[in-house]
Chain A
Amino acid sequence: AQRVTQPEKLLSVFKGAPVELKCNYSYSGSPELFWYVQYSRQRLQLLLRHISRESIKGFTADLNKGETSFHLKKPFAQEEDSAMYYCALKSNTGNQFYFGTGTSLTVIP
């Protein structure tokens, strides 16, 4: 069965420190992985997707098929990064999306 796991519900880091939000998945196929972000009082929006292999707002995420992980990383956290982050998996049949339970990131000034 498809599953996305974000083990940390809450994560606090100091400004300027590196940050890593963990995401593990289980899927019997080749998934598409995404990170969505929800800033305070705003709607969820796409942050990045693994097939783009791009850096958005300094964040990167690498799909590790061996470890079935898609961790989100940023070398130097900023206060404006404080938000709720959701890891999501899209199945390659039926266009279904599965979300993790989310990690609330707080960057301490």
Chain B
Amino acid sequence: DSGVTQTPKHLITATGQRVTLRCSPRSGDLSVYWYQQSLDQGLQFLIQYYNGEERAKGNILERFSAQQFPDLHSELNLSSLELGDSALYFCASGPGANVLTFGAGSRLTVL
């Protein structure tokens, strides 16, 4: 097990709804990264947190937000969902040993 835990594994919801994805980083890692993986866009960086503070922002939509809590777990909130938001959302933590460790992902399906 890589130590990065993501829940839920699968989520099916309707357009216009809001969902929250959760990530627990590997023990000792202070950084959490969120990525969106879709067939046509590859792996898109969304946002990075370090020890509770936002460190970097990528291609994250305004409808999306994230935070990292004092216990270092992180949540990615996706609101006003659209069909195009269907994707696999990965959380990674690091950099332990200077590399990223990925979770198994949360597969979001918007109908």
Contacts and interface: CB of A to CB of B under 8 A. Distances in A.
A100 B43 CA distance: 7
24 contacts: A34-B99, A36-B100, A43-B90, A44-B90, A44-B92, A44-B102, A45-B2, A45-B102, A46-B100, A49-B98, A49-B99, A90-B98, A94-B55, A95-B31, A95-B50, A95-B95, A96-B45, A96-B55, A97-B45, A97-B92, A97-B94, A99-B42, A101-B43, A102-B43
Chain B at the A interface: mostly helix, strand, loop or mixed? Answer: strand
The 5 A-B pairs with the shortest beta carbon distances in the complex, nearest first, are A101-B42, A44-B102, A102-B42, A99-B43, A43-B102
A49 B95 CA distance: 13
Which interface class (under 10, 10 to 19, 20 to 34, 35 or more) fits B?
20 to 34
Interface of A: 32, 34, 36, 43-46, 49, 86, 88, 90, 94-102
Contact of A46 (B33, B99, B105): B99
B98 A43 contact: no
Interface of B: 2, 31, 33, 35, 41-43, 45, 48, 50, 55-56, 90, 92, 94-95, 98-100, 102-105
A8 to B, nearest CB: 12
